[in-house]
């Protein structure tokens, strides 16, 4: 092989992958040590080390690492570096800010690490048989990480998607199916003052949503119902069913989508936001790191286009499918269909 000094070794990609775990640990440590809260007002490694009783030299090294990762800013003041939280991330990383997502990030970092430890086992005897929904786990997730990610990401994405739907003026009824803590439903009710809605989720999670609806003062227009999408009634007469990141967890997709269709009024919209497995490598590289853990634990992620085919088969019309980059962790697909008018 001909080599110049800037030739990149074929193994560099693999080394980069190995090194990215150091970045993950640095981010995890920074959140758990409360570093972003302290750096809300930019300051030096010395001040942070003194405040947190940390080793000064290693605090400096960690801050430089976070700066190199574009999580912190760094500027020279006299003979010292002053570090601050990168302005585009401050709303999400500084505790107390509206979009704070630190606990969700720590949860993501830890659960991905846990998956890594389980991966060899999942290829052998531990290969997963789909489980019944773990209700307590979902309720806990709704309280913290799903709630934070809805506030920081999903709500804005949902409002942008719903804004594209034609003809939903006036009094309308919507269902947020598998809505978790219900912040999407709350945002829709705020944005469309004539709409009434329901959050449907497993009973313990529906209680979390009920508390959030109560806190938002929207009990007159929003309700929360507990049940299992697979077995229980989800109501009827909806102009819109919004369902994001839920279908992966349900068996018998065709039965669930039939149920959704039957719950819609003629011409009503079904919006599903879910991941699809792209056929191209570049797109797969963005989707698979997040969805491999789900796939290997027996959840479902469909090949690109499969949801459109199924919705068409089940009588939906005017179906569109658009990639949504603004979504937690990895791009999702927004597939929209209308129940036929007859
Ligand atoms: C990944 S979360 C998505 C939450 C929300 N839709 C969002 O996008 O932020 C999946 C949700 O589906 C709910 N879920 C899973 N299986 C369910 C079932 N069989 N019946 C009702 N809800 C279910 C979970 O409780 C959880 O709130």
Largest CA distance in the chain: 75
Ligand 1 centroid from CA 180, angstroms = 6
Rg (CA), the chain: 23
| Nearest protein Cα to ligand 1, atom 11 | 178
Query: Mean of the pLDDT values across residues 160-183?
Result: 97
CATH topology of domain 116-339: Rossmann fold (3.40.50)
Ligand 1 within 6 A of 249 CB?
yes
Instruction: Tell me, yes or no, if the two domains 12-91 and 116-339 fold the same way.
Output: no
Work out the pLDDT band at 127, boundaries 50, 70, 90.
confident
Q: Which 3 state secondary structure label does DSSP give 256?
A: helix
**Predicted local distance difference test score (pLDDT) of residue 125:** 72
Q: Which of 87-91, 208-212, 293-297 has the lowest mean pLDDT?
A: 293-297
**Predicted local distance difference test score (pLDDT) of residue 210:** 98
CATH topology of domain 12-91: Arc Repressor Mutant, subunit A (1.10.10)
**Predicted local distance difference test score (pLDDT) of residue 3:** 87
Query: Mean of the pLDDT values across residues 9-19?
Result: 97
If you search the block for the tokens 């569109």, which residue do you land on? 320
Query: Mean of the pLDDT values across residues 321-334?
Result: 97
pLDDT in tens, 260-318: 999 999 999 999 999 999 999 999 999 999 999 999 999 999 999 999 999 999 999 99
Work out the pLDDT band at 128, boundaries 50, 70, 90.
low
Q: Burial level of 39, CB count in 10 A (0-12/13-18/19+)?
A: buried
ipTM of this predicted complex?
0.99
The answer to whether residues 342 and 334 touch, using CB atoms and an 8 Å cutoff, is no
> What are the extents of the domains in the chain?
12-91, 116-339
User: For the chain, what percent of residues have pLDDT higher than 90?
Assistant: 94
Work out the pLDDT band at 134, boundaries 50, 70, 90.
confident
The answer to whether residues 267 and 339 touch, using CB atoms and an 8 Å cutoff, is yes
If you search the block for the tokens 């979504």, which residue do you land on? 327
Query: Rounded distance, CA 313 to CA 305, Å?
Result: 13
State the closest ligand 1 atom to the C-alpha of 273, by its place in the atom list counted from 1. Answer: 8
244 phi/psi in degrees, rounded to 5: -120, 130
* pLDDT over threshold 90, residue 219: yes
Q: What is the mean pLDDT of the chain?
A: 95
- Residue 192: CA count within 13 A, CB half-sphere: 23
Ligand 1 within 6 A of 224 CB?
no
Of the candidates 233, 173, 231, 176, the residue with the CA atom closest to the CA atom of residue 205:
176
| Nearest protein Cα to ligand 1, atom 13 | 178
DSSP state of 247: G
């Amino acid at each position: 092989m001909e080599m110049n000094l800037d030739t990149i070794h074929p193994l560099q990609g693999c080394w980069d992958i190995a090194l990215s775990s150091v970045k993950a640990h640095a981010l995890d440590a920074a959140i758990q040590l409360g570093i972003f809260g302290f750096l809300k007002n930019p300051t030096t490694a010395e001040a942070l080390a003194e405040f947190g009783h940390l080793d000064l030299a290693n605090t400096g090294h960690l801050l430089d690492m976070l700066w190199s990762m574009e999580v912190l800013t760094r500027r020279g003041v006299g003979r010292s570096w002053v570090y601050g939280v990168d302005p585009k991330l401050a709303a999400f990383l500084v505790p107390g800010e509206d979009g704070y997502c630190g606990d969700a990030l720590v949860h993501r970092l830890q659960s991905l690490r846990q998956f890594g430890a389980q991966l060899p086992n999942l290829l052998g005897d531990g290969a997963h048989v789909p489980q019944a929904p773990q209700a307590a786990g979902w309720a806990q997730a709704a309280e913290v990480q799903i709630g934070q990610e809805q506030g920081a990401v999903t709500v804005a994405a949902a409002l942008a998607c719903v804004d594209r739907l034609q003809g939903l003026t006036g009094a309308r009824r919507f269902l947020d199916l598998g809505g978790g803590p219900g912040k999407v439903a709350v945002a829709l009710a705020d944005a469309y003052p004539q709409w009434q809605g329901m959050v449907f989720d497993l009973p313990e999670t529906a209680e979390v949503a009920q508390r959030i609806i109560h806190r938002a003062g929207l009990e007159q227009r929003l309700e929360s119902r507990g049940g299992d999408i697979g077995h229980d009634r989800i109501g009827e007469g909806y102009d819109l069913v919004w369902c994001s990141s839920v279908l992966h967890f349900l068996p018998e997709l065709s039965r669930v989508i039939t149920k959704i269709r039957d719950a819609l009024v003629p011409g009503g919209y079904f919006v599903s936001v879910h991941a699809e497995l792209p056929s191209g490598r570049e797109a797969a590289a963005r989707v698979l790191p997040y969805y491999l853990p789900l796939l290997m634990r027996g959840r479902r992620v469909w090949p690109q286009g499969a949801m459109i085919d199924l919705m068409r088969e089940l009588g939906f019309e005017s179906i569109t499918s658009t990639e949504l980059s603004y979504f937690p962790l990895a791009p999702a697909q927004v597939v929209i269909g209308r129940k036929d008018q007859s």
